[in-house]
Structure 1
Amino acid sequence: MIGKGHAISSTRASLAYGWNQEKEAEVVLKEYLAGDTPLEITEEFKIIQSQNERCINNTLSFVVSPTIEDGKHLSSEDLGKVAKEFLKEMNLKNHQAIGFVHRDKEHTHIHIYANRISLTGEVYKDSFIGKRSQIAADNVAKQLGFIRVKEVQQEKLQEFQQHRKEVQNIHEKVLQSRPKSLDEYIKRMQEHQVKVIPNFNKSRQLQGFRFEYNGVNLKGSEIHRSMSGNKIILGISQNDSITKLKEAPKSLQLLNSTVQLSTGIINKIAKDLVKQTIKRVLDTGIGMAY
């Protein structure tokens, strides 16, 4: 089961999407609400939201998706229970909320909209809400005996074990030739039929790579930890340096243009540099008292 979540300001439009009959929408959850249309529910939300008018993104939007296999067998009552348990895991029991099931696609999923302002006027903190939604959905799946994302991922990695080993071997062979840029690395991987696909976040910052080989597309970290973005960037950056790097780069050349690195990958590279420094000190004994 997968969970996604974020705070929004377009309450009525989002509720209208959730209630879309073309998507075979069905209401499976109502908490502290009486209305029967998007407009009525929006007005009920506004009454509570008027307690804290400084909060702009005052509605929480979630999508909870059981696996395709689980979704085929879940009744409306079952899906309502999923939505209720999800809200409990997200600590939203004291908030207005409504949940809709969409069955217009093979993948049955639930749209949940919750008032960010509680019945007593507190603003729900939305920091890391996407990650917390994932954890909450996984906990609900575990409680209700559904297939968990971690199990699906593990099965996927087991299935492609030989494939992963082949890509890792090609990666290591290419690194032994000491490519001095990412473009050179990508070109040499392509010569071995491995397509390296840069992965960018919404801010167009580089946060890693995916690798496509024999029709299978996997993240670098799914193949081997040595193929995570920070490891590759650090190794290649050092190939191109006369002296060892002293700090993590903020940007680099990729596909004939300068790209910014994500904060996450910069921090990981910085940690790797610290570990390298400590290892060199221990190996050489420099600065150590006896």
Structure 2
Amino acid sequence: MIGKGKSISHTQASMKYGWNQEKEAEIVYAQNIVGDSPQEISREFEQIQKLNEHCERNTLSFVLSPTIEDGRTLDQRKLGELTKDFMREMKLGERQAIAFVHQDREHKHVHLYVNRIDFDGRAYKDNFIGKRSQHAAERVAHEHQLTTVREVQLIREINLTDIRLEIKRRYELTMKQFKPETYKAYMRGMETNGVKAIPFINKQHKLQGFRFEFDGHSLKGSAVHRSMSMSNIGKQMAREHGLEKFKELNRAISLAKSPEPVQISLKLLKEIAQKVIKKSISKGMDIGY
């Protein structure tokens, strides 16, 4: 579960969003309020907030987001318990508060609004409230045996590692299977193998690199593997088909997204040439030249 928090001044507008019937909003928690509309509850908040006229951002706004899987098992009663325990962990005490669940999307989440001013006119200290909200949400998640944000991040990292490995595998298959001579042919080969290579064209109308879209992820080539940078892709094509032929075929490339042929920078061509020559020299030394 992920927790986010901040201090706000636009209480009524936020509550209207929280109590949005289009989002199938339902009240899951309420404390020290009697109103049954955003306008009435905002006025109740304002009556207490008049006890402390120095505090401008006088409402606390929190969002509690269980994972999609956890959200499927959480009904209104359980969400109310989570919210109550989050209030306790944040040491919010006896204040006015109301929470709504939004379930118009698969990702169920709770919007919680708490009066920053207590019944004695004291303002709740909101320093580092974002970080404190996250830590409180993690403690509540542990208590209720839900997935914590750190576990979510670990799962994402593991999944991303698998995605990188699969894109690289399909890149290697493309280079072996199609032996492309140009970046355009390389893009076609990658798409045939289920990975969309999206060219990045800079302001000078030069082809600068690729992003790779696969299974809902979008990654730069260098973020997948260093062998998938523009220069390293070019180096492999130049070694396969000859440096001069590569340079001739790739100086200008016609792409569907560009009305004019896209240029390859001289700097990039020189970098590829240097890598090919360096590799050739190294290979010659290895066999005893």
TM surpasses 0.5: yes
State which structure, 1 or 2, has the greater radius of gyration over its C-alpha atoms: 2
Q: Note if 1:96 corresponds to 2:89.
A: no
In structure 1, the partner of 2:60 is 60
Structure 2 distance, partners of 1:87, 1:79, is 12
Q: How does 1:73-92 map to 2 (within 5 A)?
A: 73-92=73-92
AA aligned opposite 2:35 = G
Q: In the TM superposition, what whole-angstrom CA distance separates every residue of 1:60-82 from its partner, at most 9, and x where no partner exists?
A: 11111111111111110000111
Q: How does 1:108-127 map to 2 (within 5 A)?
A: 108-127=108-127
CA pair 150-195 structure 1, distance change in 2 beyond 3 A: farther
Q: In the TM superposition, what is the alpha-carbon distance from 1:158 to its structure 2 partner?
A: 2.5
Q: Note if 1:159 corresponds to 2:159.
A: yes
Q: Helix, strand or coil for the counterpart of 1:55?
A: coil
Structure 2 distance, partners of 1:218, 1:94, is 47
CA pair 119-155 structure 1, distance change in 2 beyond 3 A: same
Q: Contact 2:4/2:133 (CA < 8 Å) preserved in 1?
A: yes
Q: Note if 1:23 corresponds to 2:33.
A: no
CA pair 195-28 structure 1, distance change in 2 beyond 3 A: farther
CA pair 160-107 structure 1, distance change in 2 beyond 3 A: closer
CA pair 20-163 structure 1, distance change in 2 beyond 3 A: closer
In structure 2, the partner of 1:149 is 149
Q: Contact 2:213/2:219 (CA < 8 Å) preserved in 1?
A: no
CA pair 214-17 structure 1, distance change in 2 beyond 3 A: closer
AA aligned opposite 2:149 = V
Structure 2 distance, partners of 1:194, 1:125, is 47
AA aligned opposite 2:89 = E
AA aligned opposite 2:38 = P
Q: Note if 1:131 corresponds to 2:121.
A: no
Q: In the TM superposition, what whole-angstrom CA distance separates every residue of 1:196-236 from its partner, at most 9, and x where no partner exists?
A: 9xxxxxxxxxxxxxx965644579xx99xxxxxxxxxxxxx
Structure 1 distance, partners of 2:121, 2:97, is 15
Q: In the TM superposition, what is the alpha-carbon distance from 1:21 to its structure 2 partner?
A: 1.1
AA aligned opposite 1:145 = Q
In structure 2, the partner of 1:233 is none
CA pair 214-71 structure 1, distance change in 2 beyond 3 A: same
In structure 2, the partner of 1:105 is 105
Q: In the TM superposition, what is the alpha-carbon distance from 1:52 to its structure 2 partner?
A: 0.4
Q: In the TM superposition, what whole-angstrom CA distance separates every residue of 1:4-63 from its partner, at most 9, and x where no partner exists?
A: 111111111111111111111111111111111112111111121111011111001111
Q: Helix, strand or coil for the counterpart of 1:158?
A: helix
Once superposed, which parts of structure 1, at least 4 consecutive aligned residues long, lie more than 3 Å away? 159-167, 193-196, 211-219
Percent identity, aligned pairs only?
Answer: 51
AA aligned opposite 1:30 = A
CA pair 56-108 structure 1, distance change in 2 beyond 3 A: same
CA RMSD of aligned residues (A): 2.8
CA pair 163-32 structure 1, distance change in 2 beyond 3 A: same
CA pair 194-138 structure 1, distance change in 2 beyond 3 A: farther
Structure 1 distance, partners of 2:162, 2:72, is 32
In structure 1, the partner of 2:36 is 36
Q: Note if 1:13 corresponds to 2:9.
A: no
Structure 1 distance, partners of 2:52, 2:160, is 51
Structure 1 stretches lacking a partner, 5+ long: 168-192, 197-210, 224-290
Further displaced range: 110-119 or 38-47: 38-47
Q: Helix, strand or coil for the counterpart of 2:36?
A: coil
Q: Helix, strand or coil for the counterpart of 2:29?
A: strand
AA aligned opposite 1:13 = A
